[in-house]
Structure 1
């Protein structure tokens, strides 16, 4: 059963270790953002364990050994080393496996909790109890590195579970079959595979009147690794089966798999994609990159191009206003306008520029001390490249005509 649970937890991290005393250690450091933070991942972990039919005590700590010890005393979620040290110090020393052989000696010294043992001289402890006890404590308190033998994932998947009783109706098999599907999805995640075909075998009683297992073939239109989708398909198939004999065991085999494709191989959804596809993409990007790194344009009420837009987090509630009528705007806007040379009274950028649009006058910024007075034009170079340039209107202090490049059209 311990190995079955470990397979189910592979969906959260490839670093899953099966340890002594019915313990499983999972390193989720690299998975926190993907699964929505520590609270969310703990809830999902608990649901997976529950779906396999196991009751477990779960704990979280900066060290695997520390989480192991805390879990023995009930649920506890510790995220900082200082808090971990305080919580571990209050634990009875019997929670540490290496201490139990010297329990009488420690009791004679008046030790009751781990903090009492830690106050004893290390040299004396090492001489009296050996290095294993000190190593175990150091790993728990984060004073020495932890080495785990991570679960070895086999190249193929085939799992079997025996039913607690004879089952006469196919629908009643679903609960036990779901446990196998949970393991399968963990295995798929660990191998970065997607399922295209699965075989479910319903084994019947053996003996003189034994019959062949009832086989259910599940073929998928597109590869998947999602538990709920597979459970839903199996439920539909079981509902249409009439058993010839009672079922005593279920076996699930991944018949055909293929490499799992990334959820999105392009930045934006395909043209014509649904709103649901768009939302899934946004959710994926937020989970992968963080909400602060997924931005969307938020136009502002300002005519100056350099301040007419700001970038806001995708999850921020931005009030949008009606956009102005279509005006020529470049695909790329320079961070800072680039002053152009003037040759023969014409702006020059690699070649003389020809004005191909009427002027657009922008006067704004007087209210915040950043006044601009510009006439914008679309200009064309000899190679037909189009640029967005502007001419500064002469001021009272200068009559010089100055041209600037502000954007490039695609």
Structure 2
């Protein structure tokens, strides 16, 4: 089988062949999708004829680790969208275009960095590679021409008179003789992209591939705008018409602004894994709800042993996406000297309360774990007992509070040590009068 055959001839040779109607509109949409995704590597991206995308990466080679790594990253981006591509490089965009179209030939190198090498590689290409030459293919074949070198040996004046200026201009642009003028894609001021799913999807996790297609587009938009994402909205569209169902909206808030694809894909994977769909999804839309200027990455000579603050924030984001914001808490103690009243925990996504209110003591010992309800200790030989006799190793810290809410508390707190060297936070109730019973001891916290 070959290009141009009729449907009947194809089915005669291969009856099991699957036929699909070509949708030019969808082809253009997916090409624009790929072009916006490739803006991660350069803001100068142009859509050309014959399903070709030209990217000027002159200023990006060092940033992305050289031409080999850059080409591999571009191929990964295209694979994430669900396309296959032949990637080539050359000093000219037209030259890279021709090399990519002929990359299936074993003797053609796809990566050329010097103009002299480009001239040799282009000269060996069949002349049908150039779009403007094909209209005169029979005439050139009659002259015995097979390659671009054969055409370039012909007199320019005769070629111009016979074939017009467009053919010579195309060759001159490919060989770097004439300047190239591309219509670079304009970047929209806000990002919002939508794709229709190939089928009705009833499992949220199965939508990760389509969600990644949207993510790589957004990362390309963020990179070319030098922005970082702080809040994204993923909208899952359900049935339309009479049985229309309101879309499912997933809000994704980030503790640390980011524009990195891998981190966003992990977040979306966790959130989609926790999402229960009310109906099948037929389309999805991703919007960058909140953005801010991206800060350039900084490197330190000696990395922090526990990771950087950015690493800590990324971990919290993953935990929130996996467990839910209501299950990932941070301490936000209230201004109360009573430990059980001061002990307050809120979601890590809640920034309305400070981590430590003013006036809280910072030099007093506090346990890592506070019991929800103090545990009364038994006494042995006039000493509190918890698995073994406890010995106080700190002076008393007196806490008297609660008179303002009719819940008066009067205690003396100590750090106590057991025989196995484990430490506990215990307190002794202060009796209200000298005739009162012996004071009681309670366990209130454990030190790590």
More strand by share: 1
Look up the match of 2:294. 260
Question: Is residue 222 of structure 2 the alignment partner of residue 188 of structure 1?
Answer: yes
Which residue of structure 2 lines up, in the alignment, with residue 44 of structure 1? 73
| Aligned partner of 1:121 among 145, 155, 175 | 155
Find out whether 1:93 has 2:122 as its counterpart: no
Q: Which residue of 1 aligns with 2:186?
A: 152
| Partner residue, 1:216 | 250
5+ residue gaps in structure 2? 1-29, 105-109, 312-448
1:30 is aligned to: 59
Q: Distance in 2 between matches of 1:54 and 1:151?
A: 20
- Structure ID, larger Rg: 2
Q: CA deviation digits over 1:82-118, x for unaligned, max 9?
A: 2111111111111111111111211111111111100
Measure how far apart 1:36 and its partner are: 0.5
Instruction: Report 1:378-393 matches (<5 A).
Output: none
Counterpart in the other structure of 1:83: 117
Shift of the alpha carbon at 1:62? 1.2
Residue 177 (structure 2) pairs with residue 143 (structure 1)? yes
Q: Which has the higher contact order (CA 8 A, sep 6+)?
A: 1
1:74, distance to aligned residue in structure 2 (A): 1.7
Alignment partner of 1:226 is 2:260? yes
Does 2:44 match 1:15? yes
Cα distance, 1:207 vs structure 2: 2.2
Residue 71 of structure 1 corresponds to 100
Once residues 303 and 281 of structure 2 are traced to their aligned partners in structure 1, the CA distance between those partners, rounded to angstroms, is 47
Q: Judging changes above 3 Å, is the alpha-carbon distance between structure 1 residues 275 and 144 closer, same or farther for their aligned structure 2 residues?
A: farther
Separation (CA, whole Å) in 2 of partners of 1:230 and 1:59: 29
RMSD, aligned CA = 1.8
Residue of structure 1 aligned with 2:136, choices 102, 105, 119: 102
Deviation at 1:11, TM superposition (A): 0.7
Matching of residues 323-402 of structure 1 within 5 Å: none
Query: Secondary structure of the equivalent of 2:241?
Result: coil
Offset, 1:256: 0.8
Of 144, 168, 178 in structure 1, the residue corresponding to residue 202 of structure 2 is 168
Alignment of structure 1 residues 188-337 onto 2, 5 Å: 188-264=222-298, 273-274=304-305
How far has the Cα of 1:274 moved from its partner?
A: 4.0
2:338 corresponds to: none
| Dislocated runs of 4+, deviation >3 Å | 271-278
In the alignment, which residue of structure 2 is the partner of 1:55? Answer: 84
Q: How far apart, in 2, do the equivalents of 1:272 and 1:137 lie?
A: 52
Q: Deviations over 1:25-46 (max 9, x none)?
A: 0111111111111111011010
| Aligned-pair CA distance for 1:124 | 0.9
Match of 2:32 in 1: 3
Inter-partner Cα distance in structure 1 for 2:219 and 2:72: 17
Deviation at 1:252?
0.3
Question: What is aligned with 1:314?
Answer: none
Displacement after TM superposition at 1:268 (Å): 5.0
Q: Distance in 2 between matches of 1:74 and 1:205?
A: 44
Tell me how many residue pairs correspond in the alignment: 276
* Inter-partner Cα distance in structure 2 for 1:276 and 1:123: 68
Per the alignment, residue 381 of structure 1 pairs with none
SS of equivalent residue, structure 2 residue 252: strand
Cα deviation for residue 273 of structure 1 reads: 3.8
**Structure 1, residues 171-221: CA drift from partner, whole Å, max 9, x if none?**
001110000000000000011110011100011121211101100000111
Name the SS for the 1:125 alignment partner: helix
Q: 3-state SS of the aligned residue for 2:176?
A: coil
SS in 1 for 2:243: coil
Change (3 A) 1:86 1:276: farther
**How far apart are residue 144 of structure 1 and its match?**
1.4
After superposition, the C-alpha distances for 1:295-324 in whole angstroms (9 at most, x for unaligned) are xxxxxxxxxxxxxxxxxxxxxxxxxxxxxx
Question: Quick one: structure 1 residues 19 and 272, their matched pair in 2 at CA, closer, same or farther if it must change by over 3 Å?
Answer: closer
CA distance in 2, matches of 1:32, 1:59: 14
SS at match of 1:77: coil
Q: State which drifts further: 140-149 or 185-194.
A: 140-149
Change (3 A) 1:239 1:141: same
